Structure 1
Amino acid sequence: MAIAKSSPTRSGSAAAESLGFDPAIHRKLLAGVESGLLHDLHVVLAARSERVFLEHYAEGNDQEWGRPLGHVTFDAGTLHDLRSVTKSIVSLLYGIALDKGLVPPPEAPLFAQFPEYADLAADPARVGITIGHALTMTLGMEWDENRPYSDPLNSEIAMENAPDRYRFILDRPIVAEAGSRWIYSGGCVALVGAIIERGSGQTLPDFAREALFRPLGIDRFHWSAGDDGVASAASGLRLTAPDLLKIGMLLLRNGLWDGKRVISKDWIEASFTSATSTPDGLGYGRLWFIGDAPAPALGAPKPWYGGFGNGGQRLWLMPEADIAAVIYAGKYNAWDAWVTPTRVWREIILANFLRA
């Protein structure tokens, strides 16, 4: 499947208009950047019906999993941290592994996948916890990522520093009944990644390369790992914007790429079905956020699905409009990092979608 590109030129404006968007959409994006309303924006890349209608590459300071990279000029070939958008990609990898019969279904007991921790599995409070609870962040175990990621007491940082990351996660105190409460947790995704690795016999990056990236023609990526060599399933993946957009378009095509099945439609539908709700009122499926937003060309607000990452990283999808959008930004560890990508999605992309 080829990605048809447009650019901020007269032809790009014509492409935007032909896809139902205000032909001035790129100028409006630039006005938001120049006015200061869109802070620390690195990349915007958006497509409808597999055709790019908005493409913007900027420059600015960047990081690789917390390591400063200095000033970077971004383009279509620049690898960029996804941070926690990685979690949503890991959900897709679990679905592919399930399709291949390599991993248990979500209703399977979680602790049975980690027999080396029989002492923890014997705890009656943990018996009913399933893989599905990890996929929906409803384990009911204590986890604190509200602290800065520079704080060693942040649970994800403590996990990375622990002598045994999986015991650290599985031994967290029980604070709620499994399935009853959403608690944001990179530990949940570390467990999901471990089950994929154990079932496939491959590292998570190697399985991703073979099962997802290669079928989509993605040949460049990087996956950051901890000191123990374990790739971070929660936040370590780096992709170019066009390659992340391919993954978005794969989902809009219900798992088909160039006529070949990459992931089952059933897994995508289940992942995009809300299993719980977050404190800010969004739905949450299998490592995907779920909400709705106005889309003038479609009338009433329509559902969207998103992978969200620290610093303003986003993969937005609105299937009813056939829109996928990638946003990369550099506002890492800031409480208001959500503002810029949300403005781009709602006030630039959807507000300027005028004709279905």
Structure 2
Amino acid sequence: MKHLVLPLLPLFMAFRLGAQSAPFVPDHGITSPFHQAHVGEILFSAQALPATAYVASAFAPSQVFTPKSSLFMTVFLGTSLTNALHALAPDATAEELTQRGNFQFTFLVDQQPVYVSNLHPGAPYAALKHAETVWHKPLVNNETATSWWSQSLWNRFLAAGGEKALRTGPHLLRVEIRPYLHTTRLLVGPPLAAGQVTLVVKPPVIDPNTIRLRSLAPYPGLPVSRAHLDTAKIKALKANIEAGVFKAITSVVVLKQGQLLVEEYFQGATRATRHDPRSVGKSFASTLTGLAIADGFLRNEFQPLRDFYDMPQYPHYTPAKARITLSELLTMRSALAGNDEEADSPGNEEHMYPTSDWVRFALSLPVDSVKPRGQWAYFTAGAILLGDVLEHRVPGGLEAYADRRLFRPLGITDYRWQYTPQHVANTAGGVQLRALDFAKYGLLYQNGGRWQGQQLLPAAWVAKTLSHQVALPHRVKEYYGYLFWNKTYHVQGKSYETYYCAGNGGNTIFVFKDQPLVVVVTATAYGASNAHAQVDKMMTDFILPAVLGTRPRKPGRAAAPPRPRASQRRYVR
């Protein structure tokens, strides 16, 4: 899209000097002498810093940069973003400015432009756009598990050429920040802040000879497996994860024939850690829908929205919208104008989260007049509607029903829901479990809905769920079931079809069709463009080759055979 860069240098200089006497909206102003001395600058550090630590020695002009390094940026502005946007459109309200504008980031490596990104208007929040004049955010954070928009920005930069540009050796990374605003065209103002840091990039050192695998112990409902395992492959995988080649992985669990074969944790996680797998939780909405039908609280998945809502009261009413079925929400084929993969889509999830009523947001969407009937599009708000239907149809509400009919029968007692603004359990992706409990959930599906001899979930529902309900557009031989994905891995000349739950960051529960395997990977690479690609690499190069053999393990042997030869494998997307 063509854009207009406005000649606002005099105004920018006023921002730098902190001389704007009457800002459009009140902001924090100049917060300290250090801030005053560095207005218009971006400074970089290798660790998170509290505001009290903003001194010259805390920021470095260069740092050694490995896959395990962190990189934080601290931005010193002369005025807030909203005030800068006001200069681009003086007649717009503050609300209009925050809804249509944000920061534009430009990344340069060795003085060559690599990536330009206009941040989605939804992040940071409007209140921060109004007030903040100093902010500190991670670009890379290997210290703790975080999921800031700035980390997603960095991952997009890497995918757009940054990873290639930051090859081994010293490189000058420069970041520039400008305000942008969408009106009838894209308006871009002058730089609000800029800064650079020299990154001395070093490759990881990987030595599987130093790796020891975790000793396995039974878990309620999951005995230890004695099946064959190529432990050299799992050691090499663990070495790559610990070296930061595969990033932000927190656990890897493998069940074979319903027994525990691999269990490894990273980033400080343990067997007791509850993981946040984001949209993996959508699959639980499918499970609970099947249970509600089996229990008679829903007739079937073909019931239309008009059975549950007074559809004419919502904007953009049409009979076609009222006829949308639960099945169409389960398969993401509804006629609603919602596509999370298109930023401008009315129903994009980023437009939903700031609203006070997510259900009303979804039901108020227009019907997409362009999309062919039945075409698949990823649509988070549809999963919210399923959860709301369940909340009002099952006795005691969705959360109590899930505990009674799913979690307790599986022996899952330590879990946590996130909630919608109406305090309904968030079926868009808000359930946190231990990695082994996610494995139990996958095993339930691999066993056709049976758990410890009892038919917990109807086999017919499992069969519908794990089926090719719709082909995924722009993907070869990949499909979608009832809030489950499907694809086929190719390893050593053979094909292995799997259904799987997937969530932002690389979180996955794999249920293999023709192999007695359930694989769980949890991760915190939220927003990373290669988060799922690296899990695919882990599966094809390490996990599946390690567990597909048939030679039995000798009774009583721990999962630690002779050491493998050292490997220097490095994963590059």
TM-score of the pair, normalised by structure 1: 0.84
SS at match of 1:331: coil
Q: 1:268/1:31 Cα in 2 relative to 1: closer, same or farther (>3 Å)?
A: same
Give the drift of 1:247: 0.6
Match of 1:4 in 2: none
Q: Which protein, 1 or 2, shows the higher relative CO under an 8 Å CA cutoff with sep ≥ 6?
A: 1
Q: Which moved more, 1:201-210 or 1:256-265?
A: 201-210
Alignment of 1:46-65 (within 5 A): 46-59=254-267
One-letter amino acid of the counterpart of residue 278, structure 1: L
Tell me the CA shift for residue 118 of structure 1.
Answer: 5.0
Paired amino acid for 2:234: H
Comparing 341-350 with 181-190, greater Cα deviation is found at 341-350
- 1:8 aligns with 213
2:253 to 45, 58, 71: 45
Q: Measured at CA, do residues 326 and 232 of structure 1 come closer, stay the same or move farther in structure 2, by a change above 3 Å?
A: same
1:120, distance to aligned residue in structure 2 (A): 6.2
Shift of 1:159: 2.4
Tell me which residue corresponds to 2:138: none
Aligned residues: CA RMSD:
2.7
More helix by share: 1
Matched AA of 1:40: A
- C-alpha separation between the residues in 2 aligned to 1:245 and 1:212? 14
1:158 corresponding residue in structure 2: 351
Which segment is superposed worse, 29-38 or 39-48?
A: 29-38
Q: In 1, are the aligned partners of 2:305 and 2:311 still within 8 Å (CA)?
A: no
Q: Which residue of 1 is the match for residue 320 of structure 2?
A: 125
Percent of counterpart pairs with the same letter?
Answer: 26
What do the CA deviations read for 1:179-210 (whole angstroms, capped 9, x no partner)? 52111111111111112112103332221111
Moved more, 273-282 or 308-317: 273-282
Residues 162-311 of structure 1: pairs in structure 2 closer than 5 A: 162-175=355-368, 176=370, 179-281=373-475, 282-296=478-492, 300-311=494-505
| Residues 179/159 of structure 1: CA separation in 2 closer, same or farther (3 Å cut) | same
TM-score, with structure 2 as normaliser: 0.54
Match of 1:67 in 2: none
CA contact (8 A) 1:147 1:153 kept: no
Q: For the residues of structure 2 that align with 1:11 and 1:261, how far apart are their CA atoms?
A: 28
On the 8 A contact 2:346/2:365 being kept in 1, the answer is: no
Distance 2:216 2:385 in 1: 47
Moved more, 232-241 or 269-278: 269-278
36-45 or 162-171, which moves further after superposition?
Answer: 162-171
2-side partners of 1:233 and 1:245: how far apart? Answer: 19
Structure 1 residue ranges without an equivalent (≥5):
1-6, 60-72
Q: Deviations over 1:41-88 (max 9, x none)?
A: 1111111012222111111xxxxxxxxxxxxx2011101102000001
- Report the CA distance shift for 1:16/1:213 in structure 2 as closer, same or farther (over 3 A): closer
State whether residues 505 and 527 of structure 2, in contact with CA within 8 Å, keep that contact through their aligned partners in structure 1: yes
Whether the aligned pair in 2 keeps the contact of 1:103 and 1:195 (CA below 8 Å) is: no
1:128 Cα deviation from its structure 2 partner: 3.5
Maintained 8 Å contact 1:146/1:154: no
Aligned length: 331
**Please, which of 101, 104, 114 is the counterpart of residue 296 of structure 2?**
101
In 1, are the aligned partners of 2:358 and 2:421 still within 8 Å (CA)?
A: no
Equivalent position of 1:64 in the other structure: none
The 1:26/1:212 distance shift into structure 2, 3 A limit, reads same
Kept in 2: contact 1:49–1:323 (CA 8 A)? yes
2:315 and 2:346 mapped to 1: Cα distance?
22
Asked if structure 1 preserves the Cα contact closer than 8 Å seen for 2:282 and 2:429, the reply is: yes
State the Cα deviation string for residues 101-160 of structure 1 (Å, max 9, x = none).
111311221232213655569613324421110110000222242378xx9988324323
Residue 134 of structure 1 corresponds to 329
**Contact kept in structure 2, 1:138 and 1:178, CA below 8 Å:** no
Q: Which amino acid aligns with 1:244?
A: F
Q: Secondary structure at the match of 2:388?
A: helix
Look up the equivalent residue of 1:256 and give its one-letter code.
R
SS in structure 1 at match of 2:336: coil
| CA distance 1:36–1:129, change in 2 (3 Å) | same
